[in-house]
């Protein structure tokens, strides 16, 4: 039995998991898991020490570890976006007495995690027969817009690749979306607007403010107060706020209790679907297109009302190709943690 350590490291919380890797190739077995507030620690090392003292004594010391990082990773080194932590794989190996420590981007971890999901972790948005050894695409709107892909190697095993596809230019498809583009450029004095500025949690807020400022519909008292509180808290240490406007907007849209929120999410779902279709055209992922991120899982009724899929397929004469791609929404929010464990197992 080999014990491995996996971690999902974010600015708010750090989740650690011990797993068992058998020699017979069976699925990884979860041994222990715990979550810790990241801001209360000056580094990852004391969190791991505490976790192993509390949870790991019955299982033995792990041999290898993989940590998914909310931020860019270069040369097995990472500086977290919302923490003062500076993580280096070789330093962690030395201080934690591990044979190997791998640091990977959190969206790369989602790519690995796909390989460990079951049908119970997925919602099928478009049924089609997955082709073995075909590319797999991953897209996920959350704080930003992550994109990645998996390609099979000569042995038939999938290799995971991250990308910065969320930073391509936002391409309006309608007059209203064109107005949105100009609104964002004028408001923030941006030379260009990336698609992530629209297809993300912050994009939901941006679309709402655009419609509100264009007086598309009257703003509700609840949303007035939410935005007032949110704006008064912007700039706090560690970016901590007590309200999440995007969550309130999406909830109001699902409840059909606010016209501004409903139209905001209509535009969001259409732009999300269009960008997923753009990614699919570039990769032709007949192995599947997987939609990750909290926005999709928390807005399943909106993701499945037809707007997302219609925009995804609206690619002219190429639409018939996209109809052959199976599309899945990942409902298991621990997919990144699953992926970190699989990456640690792969690095033997």
Backbone angles phi, psi at 193, to 5 degrees: -125, 120
CA nearest neighbour of 78 among 100, 99, 103, 96: 103
Strand order in the sheet with 327-330: 122-126, 327-330, 289-292, 136-141, 145-152, 158-162
Name the binding residues.
7-12
CA nearest neighbour of 328 among 108, 113, 128, 107: 128
Task: State whether residue 183 is helix, strand or coil.
Answer: helix
Distance of alpha carbon 343 from alpha carbon 287, whole angstroms: 20
Tokens read off for 278: 């753009």
Name the binding residues for ATP.
7-12
The 10 Å Cβ neighbour count of residue 220 is 16
Half-sphere exposure of 218 (CA within 13 A, CB side): 3
Q: What are the E-state strand segments in the chain?
A: 2-9, 13-21, 29-37, 64-69, 73-74, 77-79, 86-88, 100-105, 122-126, 136-141, 145-152, 158-162, 289-292, 327-330
Helices (H), 75-198: 89-96, 106-114, 175-188
In our burial notation (b when 16+ CB lie closer than 10 A, e otherwise), range 33-65 reads eeebebbebeebeebbeebbeebbeeeeebebb
């Amino acid at each position: 039995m080999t014990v491995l350590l996996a971690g999902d490291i974010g600015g708010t919380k750090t989740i650690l998991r011990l797993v068992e890797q058998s020699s017979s190739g069976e699925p990884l077995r979860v041994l222990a898991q715990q979550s810790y507030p990241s801001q209360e620690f000056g580094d990852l090392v004391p969190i791991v020490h505490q976790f192993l003292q509390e949870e790991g004594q019955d299982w033995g010391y792990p041999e290898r570890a993989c940590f998914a990082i909310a931020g860019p990773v270069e040369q097995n080194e990472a500086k977290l976006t919302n923490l003062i932590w500076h993580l280096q794989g070789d330093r962690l190996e030395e201080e934690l007495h591990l044979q190997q420590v791998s640091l990977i981007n959190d969206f790369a971890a989602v790519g690995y995690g796909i390989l460990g999901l079951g049908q119970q972790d997925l919602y099928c948005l478009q049924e089609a027969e997955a082709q073995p050894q075909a590319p797999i695409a991953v897209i996920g709107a959350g704080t930003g817009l992550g994109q990645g892909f998996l390609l099979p190697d000569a042995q038939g095993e999938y290799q995971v690749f991250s990308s910065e596809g969320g930073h391509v230019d936002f391409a309006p498809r309608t007059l209203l979306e064109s107005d949105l583009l100009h609104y964002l450029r004028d408001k923030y004095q941006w030379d260009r607007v990336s698609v992530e500025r629209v297809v993300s949690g912050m994009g939901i807020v941006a679309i709402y403010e655009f419609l509100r400022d264009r007086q598309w519909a009257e703003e509700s008292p609840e949303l007035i107060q939410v935005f007032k509180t949110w704006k008064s808290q912007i700039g706090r240490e560690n970016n901590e706020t007590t309200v999440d406007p995007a969550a309130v907007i999406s909830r109001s849209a699902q409840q059909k209790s606010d016209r501004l929120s409903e139209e905001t999410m209509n535009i969001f779902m259409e732009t999300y679907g269009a960008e997923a279709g753009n990614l699919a055209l570039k990769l032709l992922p007949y192995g599947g297109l997987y939609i990750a991120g909290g926005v999709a899982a928390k807005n399943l009724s909106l993701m499945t009302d037809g707007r997302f899929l219609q925009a995804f397929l609206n690619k002219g004469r190429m639409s018939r190709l996209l109809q052959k791609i199976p599309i899945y929404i990942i409902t298991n929010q621990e997919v990144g943690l699953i992926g970190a464990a699989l990456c640690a197992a792969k690095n033997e």
